[in-house]
Structures are given as structure tokens and as C-alpha cells.
């Protein structure tokens, strides 16, 4: 059989072959010893198919496992060359190809798109100076501010080691013992905790990053991607219904919108601070559990991101996409944010495990500028492995050589002082001020919904954990605490 006679005519994709390129004569029948005899080991096509089938899955991401992505472009709309020497930002109208991946955070690969969970918002910019990965979320803060807590935090959001079930007690036990999570808890349980798909949400760098000029002068910035489609969220009842009827709701919505030519777009902005402004600000700008007020540091427009092309193959382009905050171009640099500093190592190292040491050679991760390193060998080195070029430096045979322009890559004269020690963050009122401010920005109805959303899961935990967490809500705002306590009692709590 070549093509079903009742199927529409289509351009042939050619003759089927084995993985080694040998033509296959029959793809429906195994080779046997006689009509009813056992299968023969010499049937390489059968062995080739089954052996590959058993190896199709790679380790799923520990976090951000379930996601969707699309190709597009970023276009500069405002000149910020006075802030950064980054080549892709140097001219209004300049376009840079991008690939963007959206995701849920805690769920596995088969989880529902409509869970109450932060959404990953990662953008790979393919610039002339290599890739810049903006690896953020749809919420401008995070639950913790020190990377040493991250494995425990994620463990608390996953399945119980005995029951293998999601466990509200683990979730709230951790949160109640880490009160810096209050700001994120408040945002997560607000109406924005369940976005209506990926197109109707903002994106944030969350971390403070740096923009660097050619002479090493630098500014601290936070990146904002504001949806042009408008913010839309799902009600709890709708999210639950969709989780059962269409768990791939957000993935489907993004793909179909692009197929229809309704290309989603985001306006891109930065908040800009000098070093002195950042260090003297009322909140620690290197604490990712805090935001920087737009009243104090207004948004400055940079550009526009448009997603206009779906992946041709999900596995090749979405599942194998490797985003790492450490992928930075000249003109963009990190800050002292502890969570960011930990992620600079962790993300790239995770890809080395999940995809291999040469994951940057996979087409979706490959810089359009090319990679010119001294790296050699390793599993799946498929780019010529550097040919006959030297694999060491210094050498006398033409490099590749460094630029010797550190000022473009690292801010100049950054202040670093103090003793080498484990400097703990103090449990200060600042951890409660911003959650209280945010809570009081909600309408009366949304305050009730926040309390109800919290109580729906917190009420499933032991009373001592409920009491511990309730103290945090009261400390943020007395009305906040009263409403959560009332919602807990309405949910049957014995608090």
C-alpha cells in the first residue's frame, strides 16, 4: 500500500527507510519463520522500530514540564541605546527572531493547562551576538528569594512520597514556614491565578537584571511584557470544567489562534534604576519576592513581541528548547539577586542532564550567530566538533580568541563588600507590606474570592498549619486575616 485510495491526494514524502537509510519493503508485517512461526532476529526494521520506540521519551522538566511555544519576532520601538550596548536594541525598527515558551510550573507533562499555578514565560532572542534568554513568569514575584530553598519548595508542590498524591499539607506547611511567600501567595490566589490561556497574560523578568553600556556604566532594570490581547482569567468553576473536558486548553488556544492568523503580541517595557536608586530604594530590589512600584520607576517602552509561526514539530522545538538565564548577550547582565544567581547555574546544568552536554547544537537552541568555542566531544556532537581548529587557549593557530571587552559583558565597578558568610534575610515588615498593599487593591468581591481560593486548599491541612498561616494573613492586613479565617470556617475548618 502506497497511499489509501479514499484519502485526498497529497504530495508524496518519498520511500520509507530504516534509521540507517535503507528502504523498507513492508511496514505492516514482521518477518517470521513460516506463516505461523516465530519472528526472526534478522528483521532489522522491526528491531529498529521497537528499539527506538522504547527510547522516545527524554526526562521531562522537573518544573515547567507542561508547556506550549511559538516562533515570532521582537521589534525595537523606542531607542534605549543610551542604556545598553546590546546590538539587538541599537535601532528603532530592528527585528530579532524569538522563540517563546509558556508553561505551568508544578504540574507534570500531562497536567491540565488550567491549574492554579504560575505560568512560565520564557523568550529566546536569537541575536547577532548569541542568544539572550529572558526566563520569567506571568507574575512579577516568586515564593522564595534564595535558591538554596528551591528544591524543597518544588518538592512541597509535587506529589507526596508515600501516597503519590498532591498534598495541600506539604504546600502550606512550607509556605507557612517561609513567610516571604506571602506576596506570591496573594497573587496566585487572586483572579490572575488562573489565566485564560497563554495569550491573555503579562510576562515579567521578575528578577532585577542589568543593562550595560559599552563603557561599563550600568542600570538595574526589570522587564515587563504586557499583553495586547488584554488580561483575561478563568473562574474557578470554568477552570475545573476545562481541566476535565480539555486539559490542553491553553496549548490549543495558542496554536489555533496563530493558525487563524490572530498573532498574539506583547508590548515590552523596562523599569530603570541607577545603582544608587536601587540600593537606596525602600524595598530590596534584589529580593524577587518584592516588586518595584511603577509610580516610583515608570515603565519605559522598548519594543514589541509578536508570535506568528507555530512549531513544525512539538518535540524538536518545544520539548527540546533549553532556556537558561545565564544565556546573556553583551549589554545585558545579571544582578546580585540570590535566586537569579542560583538559576544562572541550575538551568543550564539541568539541560546538560536532560538533553546532553551538546544541547546547544539542537537547532531550536542554536544561535544564529554561530557558536565558536573550545568545547569538544560529548554525546551527540553533530556540528563538526570544531574540525581541526585548536581546542585550547591560548594558541598560536588563529583562536578562537576572546574579545577583551569585559565592560560590555559585566557592569563596571559594581559594589561588593562584606564578610563571606550565610547572611540570612531578616523577617521584616517588608515581607508583609506589599501583600497587604496588593490585597487592598482588590475589589471587595475579589477579596472574598482570594479568601475562598485560599481556604479551599488550606482547610485540607492540619489545624496547627492553618493557625500558623493565618497569623501571616493577619499581619499583612487585619481584614485579609478575618476573611480567610471566615472562609476557612465556612469550608468546615475547626480552627
Strand spans (E) along 228-349: 265-273, 300-309, 332-333
- Neighbouring CB atoms inside 10 A of 438's CB total 20
How far out from the chain centre does Cα 186 lie?
Answer: 20
| Alpha carbons 237 and 235: distance in angstroms, whole number | 5
Give, as one character, the DSSP assignment of residue 418. Answer: S
Q: Which of 71, 87, 131, 137 is catalytic?
A: 137
Name the grid cell of 357.
Answer: 552536554
Rama region for 384: left / alpha / beta (φ>0; ψ in -120 to 50; rest): left
- Neighbouring CB atoms inside 10 A of 375's CB total 16
Q: Are 234 and 194 in contact (CB under 8 A)?
A: yes
Question: Is 137 a known active-site residue?
Answer: yes
Kindly give, in sequence order, each residue whose CB lies less than 8 Å from that of residue 306, ignoring residues fewer than 6 positions away.
72, 73, 75, 263, 264, 265
Q: Which alpha helices (H) appear in 291-386, and where do they start and end? A: 314, 338-354
Give, as one character, the DSSP assignment of residue 203. Answer: E
| Alpha carbons 46 and 27: distance in angstroms, whole number | 9
Which element (helix H / strand E) includes 125?
A: strand 119-127
Kindly give, in sequence order, each residue whose CB lies less than 8 Å from that of residue 191, ignoring residues fewer than 6 positions away.
233, 446, 449
Phi first, then psi, for residue 244 (nearest 5°) are -90, -35
Report the interhelical angle of 430-439 vs 463-476 (nearest 10°). 80
Name the grid cell of 446.
Answer: 475579589
Supply the Cα-derived Rg of the chain in whole angstroms.
26
Instruction: Name which of 366, 364, 260, 251 is nearest 316 in CA terms.
Output: 364
Report the interhelical angle of 168-177 vs 463-476 (nearest 10°). 40
Q: Which of 45, 64, 207, 472 is catalytic?
A: 64
Report the interhelical angle of 444-458 vs 478-490 (nearest 10°). 50
Question: Is 453 a known active-site residue?
Answer: no
Q: Which alpha helices (H) appear in 402-477, and where do they start and end? A: 406-409, 430-439, 444-458, 463-476
| Alpha carbons 17 and 7: distance in angstroms, whole number | 22
Kindly give, in sequence order, each residue whose CB lies less than 8 Å from that of residue 164, ignoring residues fewer than 6 positions away.
none
Give, as one character, the DSSP assignment of residue 9. Answer: P
Name the grid cell of 236.
Answer: 474557578
Distance from first CA to last CA of the chain, Å, rounded? 70
- What are the residue numbers of the active site? 64, 137
Amino acid at each position: 500500500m502506497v497511499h489509501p485510495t479514499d484519502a485526498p491526494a497529497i504530495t508524496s514524502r518519498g520511500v520509507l527507510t530504516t534509521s540507517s537509510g535503507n528502504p523498507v519493503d513492508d511496514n505492516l508485517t514482521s518477518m517470521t519463520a513460516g506463516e505461523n512461526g516465530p519472528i526472526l532476529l534478522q528483521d532489522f526494521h522491526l528491531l529498529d522500530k521497537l528499539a527506538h520506540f522504547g527510547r522516545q521519551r527524554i526526562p521531562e522538566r522537573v518544573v515547567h514540564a507542561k508547556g506550549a511555544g511559538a516562533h515570532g519576532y521582537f521589534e525595537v520601538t523606542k531607542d534605549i541605546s543610551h542604556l545598553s550596548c546590546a546590538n539587538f536594541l541599537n535601532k528603532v525598527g530592528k527585528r530579532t527572531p524569538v522563540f517563546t515558551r509558556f508553561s505551568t510550573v508544578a504540574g507534570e507533562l500531562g497536567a491540565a493547562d488550567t491549574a492554579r499555578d504560575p505560568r512560565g514565560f520564557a523568550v529566546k532572542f536569537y541575536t547577532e551576538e548569541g542568544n539572550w534568554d529572558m526566563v520569567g513568569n506571568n507574575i512579577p514575584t516568586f515564593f522564595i528569594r534564595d535558591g538554596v530553598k528551591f528544591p524543597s519548595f518544588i518538592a512541597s508542590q509535587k506529589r507526596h512520597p508515600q501516597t503519590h498524591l498532591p498534598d495541600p499539607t506539604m504546600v502550606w506547611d512550607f509556605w507557612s514556614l517561609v513567610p516571604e511567600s506571602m506576596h506570591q501567595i496573594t497573587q496566585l490566589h487572586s483572579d490572575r491565578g488562573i489565566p485564560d490561556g497563554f495569550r491573555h497574560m503579562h510576562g515579567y523578568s521578575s528578577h532585577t537584571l542589568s543593562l550595560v553600556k559599552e563603557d561599563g556604566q550600568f542600570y538595574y532594570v526589570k522587564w515587563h511584557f504586557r499583553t495586547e490581547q488584554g488580561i483575561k482569567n478563568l473562574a474557578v468553576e470554568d477552570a475545573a470544567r476545562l481541566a476535565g473536558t480539555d486539559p490542553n486548553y491553553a496549548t490549543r488556544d495558542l496554536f489555533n489562534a496563530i493558525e487563524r492568523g490572530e498573532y498574539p503580541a506583547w508590548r515590552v517595557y523596562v523599569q530603570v534604576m541607577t545603582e544608587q536608586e536601587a540600593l537606596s530604594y525602600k524595598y530590596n530590589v534584589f529580593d524577587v519576592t518584592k516588586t518595584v512600584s511603577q509610580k516610583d520607576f515608570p515603565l519605559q517602552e522598548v519594543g514589541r513581541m509578536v508570535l506568528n509561526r507555530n512549531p513544525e514539530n512539538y518535540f524538536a522545538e518545544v520539548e527540546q528548547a533549553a532556556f537558561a538565564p545565564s544565556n546573556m548577550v553583551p549589554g545585558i547582565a545579571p544582578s546580585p539577586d540570590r535566586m537569579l544567581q542560583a538559576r544562572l547555574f541550575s538551568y543550564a546544568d539541568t539541560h546538560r542532564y536532560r538533553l546532553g552536554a551538546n544541547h546547544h547544537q539542537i537547532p531550536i537552541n542554536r544561535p544564529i550567530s554561530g557558536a565558536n568555542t573550545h568545547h569538544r566531544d560529548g554525546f551527540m556532537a553533530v556540528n563538526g566538533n570544531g574540525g581541526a581548529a585548536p581546542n585550547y587557549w591560548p594558541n598560536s593557530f588563529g583562536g578562537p580568541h576572546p574579545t577583551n571587552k569585559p565592560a560590555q559583558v559585566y557592569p563596571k565597578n559594581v559594589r561588593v563588600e562584606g564578610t563571606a558568610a550565610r547572611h540570612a534575610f531578616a523577617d521584616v515588615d517588608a515581607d508583609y507590606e506589599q501583600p497587604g498593599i496588593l490585597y487592598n487593591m482588590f475589589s471587595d468581591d475579589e477579596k472574598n474570592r482570594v479568601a475562598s481560593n485560599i481556604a479551599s486548599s488550606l482547610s485540607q491541612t492540619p489545624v496547627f498549619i492553618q493557625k500558623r498561616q493565618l497569623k501571616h494573613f493577619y499581619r499583612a492586613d487585619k481584614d485579609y486575616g478575618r476573611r480567610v479565617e471566615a472562609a476557612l470556617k465556612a469550608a468546615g475548618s475547626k480552627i
